[in-house]
């Protein structure tokens, strides 16, 4: 597979055909490929029809890659997808095996993959290859048309009364030329507490700062909570370019010293009000199922939709035995 | 007959009584009083450790050890172990011991308790599940007979590891090569320990505790091997001898640092261990592995045969508060 438009088109087309609720475009794939940390390992493969009138048609695509925010050495994400109508022919298996073979020179220790909880064939595919579920992430959706901000006025007010202010990135940029770095530092303080199979770490600053150039980024939709000069929380909404009216969230979190004071609620209420002001209809988010943040979202009016399952397979022998 | 619970007195007689109870419950893994004394002597003074005994008519019929784990320390976590002599089980003594310990720990505002037992002991499992304990991890025990081990089968792996420049060095040969061998061994052990699958994240051990092995009655330096790559310590294995069962060896910490995994180093280390075990005259090398750890598969390939598994349990007592957390359990265990 190369960086041709045709390959990105095929990847996006197969993805969107399999997961129509989460449409992706070739441009999105190209953007993430071009903004990846160039030092990180990535491999992409495609399976093409070789005979007949459809010769050259891409019937499946797949990739393996290192994640930039994960410290687990030798951990790679693998994903293979097959065009609907061509499932059950062994194409996915062949592609998956080829990905694993391609990855071998990098000495992988942990493989991860994912599918959705209602996708029985995908679950069976991964389980038969020795993967097991490591985490469940619940998607949820907020319908802004019926959302009532007044129910949370008290929380917002008490946060304000405690001296914590909420400021959008569009204002921060004028106040503090170093705001991206401070956002990165705050991100780094919050991210180890994000539930994941492995400890998450802050990505390099250059990589993080690139997210502010992302076409989905909305400066006025990126909020931080400030306690005096200290940055204590963040929450943001991003636009779904190919799904007008829908916004999605990325990391929301509050530093440990400031938790359980309503700051996350106040940040989210502010983000929702902003979303409504620009005419958005829905906000979608996902949370690890046991994370209290999910409970907070439910209280804010989010309704669960589908859940994704993270899978994991350990390849390398981890140590055994006791210390006497 | 009523049970009197009182603190353990570290006398020879009480060590013998408690070790006797443990050995009666776990005859496959007998221990010796001197091993217990050694362990008690070198416990981390910063971590709570208590042992109480239960007496009936002046005779010790049960004991309980409880406290904070030094190898996977979590604030608010306390392990609870209760052992009743088989002749005195089903009389309510276990419950009385547990209640005593739970009451003693209640003052410390515990977040969760841990306990363990083996899957072939339905009564012990019921004892825990009835009290709200839930399984968190499963570790199948496995056994290998080094006397019938086919070393030839693994010659190619040993050769490949050697040709890649990695040496397997027996611990008695270390001091001549490296004056700082103890420190390097300790550092390697810490690195590997942090990657052992456990229900709660492992804690780095103290150097004093590491050093205490040199006085341990279960230590034989020849039973320990280090993999060295251009001077860097990259893997280790070791076995602990039994003072009660001369035919048996217990596998100690065995592992390879992440950068050197999947090259056959663990296999090469283990084969050296099996060679030691054969010469020692053992007929059983025992180990246990978290069931999803590929190390378990590696052991099965070497010829280890699975036995009943140990099970770790946990009972959550309250919600965590600010700054506290209960490590998540990732695997579902069906009892």
pLDDT digit string, tens, across residues B203-226: 999 999 999 999 999 999 999 999
CA distance B92 to chain A (A): 32
Contacts of A129 in chain B (CB under 8 A): none
Query: Which are the contacts of B294, defined by CB distance < 8 A and separation ≥ 6?
Result: A314, A315, A316, A317, A318
Q: Are the C-beta atoms of residues B335 and B127 closer than 8 Å to each other?
A: no
Contact flag B251-A318 (C-beta cutoff 8 Å) = no
| Residue B98, phi then psi, degrees to nearest 5 | -60, -45
How many residues can be counted in chain A? 324
Contacts of B298 in chain A (CB under 8 A): 317
Alpha carbons B221 and B212: distance in angstroms, whole number:
13
CA distance A176 to chain B (A): 31
Contacts of A314 in chain B (CB under 8 A): 292-294
The minimal CB distance from A319 to the residues B192, B288, B322 is found for B192
The minimal CB distance from B252 to the residues A132, A134, A321 is found for A321
| Residue B125, phi then psi, degrees to nearest 5 | -65, -45
DSSP SS3 for B329: coil
Contact flag A323-B252 (C-beta cutoff 8 Å) = yes
Query: B33 falls in which pLDDT band (50, 70, 90)?
Result: very high
With DSSP H G I counted as helix, E B as strand and the rest as coil, what are the percentages for chain A, rounded to 5? Answer: 40, 30, 35
Local confidence pLDDT in tens for the 324 residues of chain A: 777 888 999 999 999 999 998 999 999 999 989 988 888 899 999 999 988 888 889 999 999 999 766 666 789 999 999 999 999 999 999 999 999 999 999 989 999 999 999 999 999 999 999 999 989 999 999 999 999 988 898 888 999 999 999 999 999 988 899 999 999 999 999 998 888 877 788 888 998 999 999 999 999 999 999 999 999 999 999 999 889 999 999 999 999 999 989 999 999 999 999 999 999 999 999 999 888 899 999 999 999 999 999 999 999 999 998 766
Give residue B143's pLDDT.
98
Alpha carbons B154 and B141: distance in angstroms, whole number:
23
CA distance B273 to chain A (A): 14
A72: nearest CA partner in chain B: B258
Contact flag A320-B240 (C-beta cutoff 8 Å) = no
Contacts of A263 in chain B (CB under 8 A): none
Q: Are the C-beta atoms of residues A121 and A112 closer than 8 Å to each other?
A: no
CA distance A198 to chain B (A): 11
Contacts of B238 in chain A (CB under 8 A): 321
The minimal CB distance from A320 to the residues B219, B259, B287 is found for B287
Pairs of CB atoms within 8 A across A/B: 94
Contact flag A314-B262 (C-beta cutoff 8 Å) = no
Contact flag A314-B293 (C-beta cutoff 8 Å) = yes
pLDDT digit string, tens, across residues B90-103: 999 999 999 999 99
| Max Cα–Cα distance, chain B, nearest Å | 68
DSSP-derived pairing of the beta strands A110-116 and A303-314: antiparallel
Alpha carbons A188 and A200: distance in angstroms, whole number:
9
DSSP SS3 for B327: coil
Containing B147, the helix (H) or strand (E) segment is none
A315: nearest CA partner in chain B: B294
Query: B53 falls in which pLDDT band (50, 70, 90)?
Result: very high
Q: Are the C-beta atoms of residues B299 and B254 closer than 8 Å to each other?
A: no
Query: B10 falls in which pLDDT band (50, 70, 90)?
Result: very high
ipTM surpassing 0.85:
yes
Alpha carbons B28 and B306: distance in angstroms, whole number:
14
Contact flag B294-A197 (C-beta cutoff 8 Å) = no
Contacts of A319 in chain B (CB under 8 A): 192-193, 195-196, 253-256, 295
CA distance A316 to chain B (A): 6
Contacts of B39 in chain A (CB under 8 A): 324
Contact flag A324-B39 (C-beta cutoff 8 Å) = yes
Torsion-angle region of B195 (φ positive above 0: left; ψ -120 to 50: alpha; else: beta):
alpha
- What is the CB neighbour count within 10 angstroms for residue A90? 11
Contact flag B289-A320 (C-beta cutoff 8 Å) = yes
Give residue A70's pLDDT.
63
Give residue A201's pLDDT.
84
CA distance B130 to chain A (A): 25
Least confident of A221-230, B48-57, B174-183, B325-334: B325-334
Contact flag A322-B216 (C-beta cutoff 8 Å) = no
Contact flag B323-A73 (C-beta cutoff 8 Å) = no
Contact flag A319-B298 (C-beta cutoff 8 Å) = no
Q: Are the C-beta atoms of residues B235 and B22 closer than 8 Å to each other?
A: no
Contacts of A290 in chain B (CB under 8 A): 328
CA distance B207 to chain A (A): 12
């Amino acid at each position: 597979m190369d960086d041709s438009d045709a390959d990105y088109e095929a990847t996006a087309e197969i993805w969107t055909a399999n997961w129509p609720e989460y449409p992706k475009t070739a441009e999105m794939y190209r953007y993430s490929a071009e903004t990846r940390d160039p030092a990180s390992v990535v491999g992409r493969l495609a399976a093409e029809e070789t005979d007949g009138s459809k010769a050259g048609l891409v019937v499946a695509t797949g990739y393996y890659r290192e994640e930039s925010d994960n410290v687990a050495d030798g951990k790679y994400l693998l994903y293979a997808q097959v065009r609907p109508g061509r499932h059950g022919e062994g194409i996915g298996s062949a592609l998956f095996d080829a990905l694993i073979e391609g990855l071998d020179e990098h000495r992988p220790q942990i493989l991860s993959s994912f599918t959705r909880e209602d996708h029985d064939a995908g679950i069976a595919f991964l389980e038969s290859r020795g993967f097991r579920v490591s985490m469940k992430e619940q998607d949820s959706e907020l319908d802004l048309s019926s959302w009532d901000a007044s129910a949370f006025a008290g929380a917002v007010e008490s946060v304000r009364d405690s001296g914590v202010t909420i400021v959008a990135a569009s204002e921060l940029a004028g106040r503090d030329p170093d705001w991206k770095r401070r956002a990165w530092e705050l991100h780094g303080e919050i991210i180890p507490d994000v539930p994941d199979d492995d400890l998450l770490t802050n990505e390099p600053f250059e990589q993080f700062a690139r997210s502010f150039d992302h076409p989905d980024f909305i400066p006025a939709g990126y909020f931080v909570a400030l306690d005096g000069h200290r940055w204590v929380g963040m929450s943001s909404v991003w636009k779904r370019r190919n799904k007008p009216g829908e916004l999605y969230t990325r990391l929301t979190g509050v530093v440990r010293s400031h938790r359980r004071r309503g700051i996350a609620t106040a940040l989210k209420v502010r983000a929702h009000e902003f979303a409504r002001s620009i005419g958005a209809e829905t906000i979608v988010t996902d949370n690890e199922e046991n994370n209290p943040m999910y409970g907070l979202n439910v209280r804010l009016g989010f309704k669960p939709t589908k859940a994704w399952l993270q899978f994991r397979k350990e390849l390398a022998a981890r140590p055994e035995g006791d210390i006497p | 007959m009523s049970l009197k619970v009182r603190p353990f007195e570290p006398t020879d007689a009480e060590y013998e009584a408690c070790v006797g109870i443990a050995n009666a419950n776990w005859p496959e893994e007998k221990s010796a009083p001197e091993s217990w004394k050694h362990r008690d002597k070198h416990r981390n003074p910063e971590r709570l450790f208590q042992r109480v005994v239960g007496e009936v008519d002046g005779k010790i019929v049960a004991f309980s050890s409880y406290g904070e784990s030094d190898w996977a320390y979590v604030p608010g976590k306390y392990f609870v172990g209760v052992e009743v002599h088989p002749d005195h089980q089903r009389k309510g003594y276990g419950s009385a011991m547990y209640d005593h310990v739970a009451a003693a720990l209640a003052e410390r505002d515990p977040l969760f308790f841990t306990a363990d037992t083996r899957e072939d002991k339905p009564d012990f499992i019921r004892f825990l599940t009835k009290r709200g304990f839930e399984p968190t991890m499963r570790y199948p025990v496995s056994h290998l007979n080094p006397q019938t081990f086919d070393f030839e089968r693994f010659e190619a792996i040993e050769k490949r590891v050697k040709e890649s420049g990695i040496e397997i060095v027996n611990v008695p040969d270390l001091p001549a090569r490296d004056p700082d061998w103890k420190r390097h061994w300790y550092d390697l052990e810490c690195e590997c320990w942090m990657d052992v699958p456990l229900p709660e994240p492992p804690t780095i051990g103290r150097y004093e505790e590491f050093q205490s092995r040199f006085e341990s009655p279960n230590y034989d330096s020849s039973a320990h091997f280090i993999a060295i790559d251009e001077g860097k310590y990259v893997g280790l294995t070791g076995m602990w001898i039994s003072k009660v069962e001369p035919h048996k060896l217990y596998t100690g910490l065995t592992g390879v640092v992440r950068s050197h995994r999947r090259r056959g180093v663990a296999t090469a280390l283990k084969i050296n261990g099996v060679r030691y075990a054969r010469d020692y005259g053992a007929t059983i090398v025992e180990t246990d592995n978290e069931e999803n750890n590929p190390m378990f598969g590696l052991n099965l390939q070497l010829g280890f045969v699975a036995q009943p598994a140990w099970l770790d349990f946990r009972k959550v007592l309250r919600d965590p508060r600010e700054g506290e957390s209960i490590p998540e359990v990732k695997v579902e265990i069906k009892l």
